[in-house]
Amino acid sequence: MNELENELLKIDIFSIYNNLIPYIGKSYKQYKILIIGESHFLEENVKEQIKDDFYEGNLDKYEPYIKENINILNNSYECTRKKLHPIHKNILNALKNNNLDYTNISYYNFFLKPAKYRTTINLTKKDIEVANNVIKEIINILTPRIIIFVSKKAYLNYHNREKNSFYVQHPTCHWWHKKSTNQKLYGKEKFIDIISKNIYSL
């Protein structure tokens, strides 16, 4: 546990669900790139969407069913890469274009409450409120130089966009690999371009 993780664990929601803190690569401080996804998700056998009582911290009810959590990256990134979710495989592939990998970044899911398996989160006012309150605290601790949202839903619901925050298409969607009619660059190209233009001016 490093000093940044210790600070993050002081945030209320992470003191309850400590395995949901942002992933922090061991060389994060070199470039301070924060990548923000959408949400965690539940195992396939969980049939109902989690209610807002998730934020009250009923661990026995919820924690065993959270399939993707940030701690997976800490445990399996370097040892068992084949088990990584496709979003992380595609981000890793794009990072390599700037001679970077997951050791150089931090990754975080904007919405804390998990979505149902293979669905997008059905947002409540509480989800948006908590997400925005928590991300402020995270940014104060991590002080990122570049913030890249890889979720449109997360980006549109983020209330305090800094000048160093950007949005690209989700790494598992069609537009990560192909341009839409109103885009100059497809998602992966835009992701690479944002990092290229920013890390070398640091």
118 or 96, greater pLDDT: 96
Q: Specify the pLDDT at position 74.
A: 47
Average pLDDT value for residue range 82-93: 78
66 or 173, greater pLDDT: 173
In this predicted model, what pLDDT tens digit does every residue of 40-53 receive, in sequence order? 877 766 667 788 88
In this predicted model, what pLDDT tens digit does every residue of 23-41 receive, in sequence order? 899 999 999 999 999 988 7
Place of tokens 């001016």: 201
Q: How far apart are CA 89 and CA 84, in angstroms?
A: 6
Q: How far apart are CA 16 and CA 111, in angstroms?
A: 15
In this predicted model, what pLDDT tens digit does every residue of 145-156 receive, in sequence order? 999 999 999 999
Q: Specify the pLDDT at position 78.
A: 42
Confidence of residue 80 (pLDDT cuts 50, 70, 90): very low
What is the helix (H) or strand (E) element at residue 147, kind and residue range?
A: strand 146-149
CA dihedral 163, 133, 111, 126 (to 10 degrees): -130
What is the helix (H) or strand (E) element at residue 141, kind and residue range?
A: helix 125-142
Long-range CB contact pairs, 21-26, < 8 A, 24+: 21/70, 22/70, 22/106, 22/107, 22/108, 22/138, 22/142, 23/70, 23/71, 23/73, 23/74, 23/102, 23/106, 23/107, 23/108, 24/106, 24/142, 25/101, 25/102, 25/103, 25/104, 25/105, 25/106, 26/103
38 or 57, greater pLDDT: 38
Q: Tell me which DSSP letter residue 74 carries.
A: H
Q: Specify the pLDDT at position 145.
A: 93
Contact 50, 126 (CB under 8 A): no
Residue 85 has which token pair?
A: 């979710």
125 or 67, greater pLDDT: 125
Confidence of residue 163 (pLDDT cuts 50, 70, 90): confident
Q: Is residue 116 over pLDDT 90?
A: no
Average pLDDT value for residue range 138-148: 96
Confidence of residue 95 (pLDDT cuts 50, 70, 90): very high
